Structure 1
Amino acid sequence: MTFTALRSGGTKLYAKMGPSWLAGAIAAGPATMASLLTAGTSFGFTLLWVVVLSAVLGTLAQYLAMQLGLRTEAGLIAVVERHLGNGWAWLLVADAVLAAGLAQLVIMKGVADISATITGIDARIWGVTWALVLAFGLAGGGYRVAELGAKLLVSAVVLAFVTSLFVVPIDAGAAIAGLIPTMPTGLSSALVVAGILGGAVHITLITMHSYTMRARGWTREDTNIATTDVVASMFVAFGVYSLAIFLVAASVLNGAISPDGLTHVSASQALGPLVGANAKWLFLLGLWGAAVSTLGGNTVVPPFLLADKLGWGTTVEDTRYRALLVSFALVSAVGPFVGGSFFPLLVLVLAFGLVGTPFAIAVVLALLNDREAVGDTASRWMNLGGVALIAITMVTAGSFVRGHLSTPTAPLSAFVLAFAIVLGVATLAVLTMAARTALSGTSQPSTTQ
């Protein structure tokens, strides 16, 4: 086969893919970058095994969500309402919208701050500008605009950071040692690990997948391309993105900058003298591209879920969905007014989102084992993978929650604890229902909680 034929085939395959790339755009965003940079800056190569694990688990989570979407050929919330009950559907909507909403504000803060650094124009002006761009762009083109932007920006961001990797001296021995699972002591390491895993295995990524595939018109017959889509975007593109950023941070920033002083400006300034001005600008542009791509993908998630729950259409042809899309985009203009440095805020937002993720995975797994919902139920390895995902995310999120037990009366800590308790109980309840269904060999009867 000639090079031209290979290139043509690759181009056609790239054009066919899409839904998982929108999830990948959110995963490969500034929040994940902040977690990776913090990990490399604080602990060197020690947490490299977590970076590799995050790509594997992220791929598995999206694969399970993809399987459920193809087997039901319906939106996730509608399926939950039909087979688990109205109360469970509303709880999943609230969980996802809260996680996505908090992330939206902080991500917009990041986009505005980076835009201000590059141009010198006030971040608050950029916040309003980007909110308007989101509103008009997504309301006009809907999902296809978000997908195209995600594919182009994620590809460019991966290329930017891989290019940076070539000019950074990597200690191969230390990197190999980092593949051996080791957990640094202290609550800060638990937060960083939760942030890294939360970037790949996040409730927004899981809940959005059925809607993006519906927008593409995919059905069970598209299982092969859908699987390729997941592997290419999450395991390959997201995995390479994560490795490149982490290795750069562990090689260059560790010891060169204090973790407490890590910002997009300080990181780029630290890179400049060590690996050249070009790497500095590659970093800033890569961070900016990641933030923009994530902002677009994250914007469509709450409108998808709310519209589905309310029985509305989930495309811009339905004016009610379009209004939700525009409203969520415009509200994000508040982001630049949020106080604090956006790197620590991003890590915190990802860790918070991870607290709500086991419930979403449990719901997906329960439905995959409900014959009435999917017909052919999940295979044994899919169930084992799903249970492993729930266990790992619960343990990791639990480590983050324990960090708030020392100050349970503080508003943020009290909210995190309450959120974790409610969703922890809900996760166990859904898993119990799924186990009973599997053991009895019958479908879980629909309820009206």
Structure 2
Amino acid sequence: MKTHLSKTETELLEQAETKGPLGKAAIYAKLSGPGWLQGAITLGGGSLAGALYLGILFGPHMLWLQPLAMICGVIMLSAITFVTLSTGERPFGLVIRRVSPFLAWAWIIAAAIANLVFCLPQFSLATAAIQQNIAPGTASVSPYVIGGGILAVAALIVSAYNKGGTGVLWFERILKVMVGLIVLSFVGVTITLIAKGAVDFGAVFTGHIPSLKYFTNPTPAFVDAIAQTGENSSAWTEIVTGDHAGKIIAAFGTAVGINMTFLLPYSILKRNWGKRHRGLAIFDLSLGLIVPFVIATGCLVISSASQFYGKTTDVLDDNGLPRPEMQASYESKLAPLLTKIVAEGRAESMESAKALVTPDDQRIAAMLADRDVAQLASSLEPFTGKFLAQKIFGFGVLGMALSTIIMLMLINGFCATEAIGQPDNKTVHFIGAMLPGIIGFFNPAIWTGASKAALAIPASTIAGALIPIAYYTFFLLMNSKTALGAEMPIGGRRIRWNVLMIFATGLVSYGAIWVTYQGVGTPGLKGIMSVSALVVLAILFILGTLGFMKKNRV
């Protein structure tokens, strides 16, 4: 593919080569774009929910998790960037020809599934932010009316991108502003909490040091609470640690989802970037993706931990009874204990098992309860004031949801055009883009849970389990001599690339297999799906490897 650059962009690139580090960075910042699209999609409902529930369950102890996930993601996105800019080809066709058609189709299907699944919580979250935070007076308005307005705005912006040229540039500028507002919203909340003395800096510092022990063990606040439950302590330990798996993989999986791996190469090609842009592309990812994500999610974990970790007053009233708005979530966390009591023969029914529940048991159920953006905003009011807590926080959440909806629609358009082999068909792109938007529009009928933010957890878990497909595909592609030719890294450079990619692919594969394995042995559909998912992943890895070996014989 030939790279057609505007005179201004060509001149700026030439100037960048003559500048020092700061001057070069300033020019690259001006030319950046696709990286901000990645930032816009990753800063969505999944990241919000992941950070929110990390804070609730783990306090500050898991602050390291999402940055580590982002490091893995950026390693692979950098590899995808290198391949795309070195070959100038669309990756889907390249993977079919040079690696494996099985992996290529698994990649595009998994990306499309992730788009559809992720769009549901975004609409739910955007509606909740409007009705609960920004405009409480709209609480009686049908969510379909609000969802229709959100869909119309998203469709209009995607349509502008479809026109190309200045439409692409304006699209990227809008997303830059939205990402900036998201980050500023959450930074403002955290700074206020710090000023009020509500943040433990020592715990925040140690929380950035990786530790795997909390993957399978309760954190200190839960250990202390569980110790008070006596006969039910072993049951609560199992319940609490069992709740960890989904939350961890959801937080990890939303850093860089499989649909993001599909977006990046096509957004780069849309800008007509080529080999000379490889340095700019890496800088673009750092500025538009890493920095906003780490800051925003870190602030959310800190805020959530300071307000909810180990606390129950927002769930239980002074009489130890669940508050009306939290009753459904509280009862869902108490239900596993009641089930175990019945299974152990200590009670004949769930209803009679409630008589054996102590205030200490109620406390743990309250500590585990799923909070929503409304609860987080309300809990911050004593520190930030009502306006900052509700309005600014609400706009930050709305920005996260809306920007992600737009990006999911855009990616699905790319999936549709690639699937039918018509990459330049704007009509097909728009139809494909509308599919996740329409699915998201019907979220009130699909998700009826008490917490709208909680919908992002199962969605993120499903999408997170699909990531290894993309990671392994591009690991093979980076080692394909037939695909990269003379551009394939050699010597020490190739070793560095492979060490980094093996680390990233191995880590996300372990996480996906771990969370999927949690369902193995479970009766019913969940157990069947878990076993099937593991078998399918194994088959894809084997077929992909065999296809790669066949197509890359020396």
- TM-score using structure 1 length: 0.89
- Between the aligned partners of 2:123 and 2:534, the Cα distance in structure 1 is 26
**CA shift at 1:275, angstroms?**
3.8
| Counterpart for residue 98 of structure 2 | 83
Q: Which amino acid aligns with 2:53?
A: T
Q: Which amino acid aligns with 1:262?
A: R
Match of 2:188 among 160, 163, 175: 163
**CA shift at 1:311, angstroms?**
1.5
- Between the aligned partners of 2:514 and 2:301, the Cα distance in structure 1 is 22
**CA shift at 1:237, angstroms?**
1.7
1:336–1:23 distance in 2 versus 1, CA, 3 Å:
farther
Q: Which amino acid aligns with 1:377?
A: M
- Between the aligned partners of 2:254 and 2:443, the Cα distance in structure 1 is 19
| Counterpart for residue 320 of structure 1 | 428
Q: Which amino acid aligns with 1:218?
A: W
Correspondences of 1:43-54 after superposition (within 5 Å): 43-54=58-69
- Between the aligned partners of 1:365 and 1:377, the Cα distance in structure 2 is 12
| Counterpart for residue 337 of structure 1 | 445
1:417–1:288 distance in 2 versus 1, CA, 3 Å:
farther
Q: Any stretches of 5+ residues in structure 1 without a counterpart?
A: 1-5
- Between the aligned partners of 1:152 and 1:289, the Cα distance in structure 2 is 10
| Counterpart for residue 194 of structure 1 | 249
- Between the aligned partners of 1:9 and 1:19, the Cα distance in structure 2 is 18
1:333–1:191 distance in 2 versus 1, CA, 3 Å:
same
Contact kept? 1:149, 1:293, Cα under 8 Å: no
| Counterpart for residue 376 of structure 2 | 267
Correspondences of 1:3-402 after superposition (within 5 Å): 13-117=28-132, 118-119=134-135, 120=138, 121-142=141-162, 144=168, 146-168=171-193, 169-180=198-209, 181-184=211-214, 185=217, 186-256=241-311, 257=314, 258-277=367-386, 278-314=388-424, 318-339=426-447, 340=449, 341-375=451-485, 376-378=487-489, 379-402=494-517
Moved over 4 A (4+): 6-12, 431-434
Q: Any stretches of 5+ residues in structure 2 without a counterpart?
A: 1-20, 218-240, 315-366
Matched, 1:407 2:422: no
Contact kept? 1:113, 1:336, Cα under 8 Å: no
- Between the aligned partners of 2:254 and 2:463, the Cα distance in structure 1 is 9
- Between the aligned partners of 1:55 and 1:360, the Cα distance in structure 2 is 15
1:283–1:224 distance in 2 versus 1, CA, 3 Å:
same
Map Cα deviations across residues 390-427 of structure 1 (whole Å, 9 max, x no partner): 111121122221232242413x5533542343123313
Structure possessing the higher radius of gyration over alpha carbons = 2
Contact kept? 1:96, 1:207, Cα under 8 Å: yes
1:28–1:115 distance in 2 versus 1, CA, 3 Å:
same
Map Cα deviations across residues 241-289 of structure 1 (whole Å, 9 max, x no partner): 1211111212233234544231111111112124432234332221111
1:428–1:36 distance in 2 versus 1, CA, 3 Å:
farther
**CA shift at 1:347, angstroms?**
1.7
1:16–1:408 distance in 2 versus 1, CA, 3 Å:
farther
Bigger mean CA offset, 183-192 vs 350-359 = 183-192
Contact kept? 1:355, 1:420, Cα under 8 Å: no
- Between the aligned partners of 1:61 and 1:10, the Cα distance in structure 2 is 22
Q: Give the alignment's Cα RMSD to 1 decimal.
A: 2.5
- TM-score using structure 2 length: 0.73
Contact kept? 1:46, 1:182, Cα under 8 Å: no
1:346–1:71 distance in 2 versus 1, CA, 3 Å:
same
Which secondary structure state, in structure 1, belongs to the residue aligned with residue 519 of structure 2? coil
Contact kept? 2:33, 2:284, Cα under 8 Å: yes
Q: Which amino acid aligns with 2:248?
A: V
**CA shift at 1:59, angstroms?**
2.0
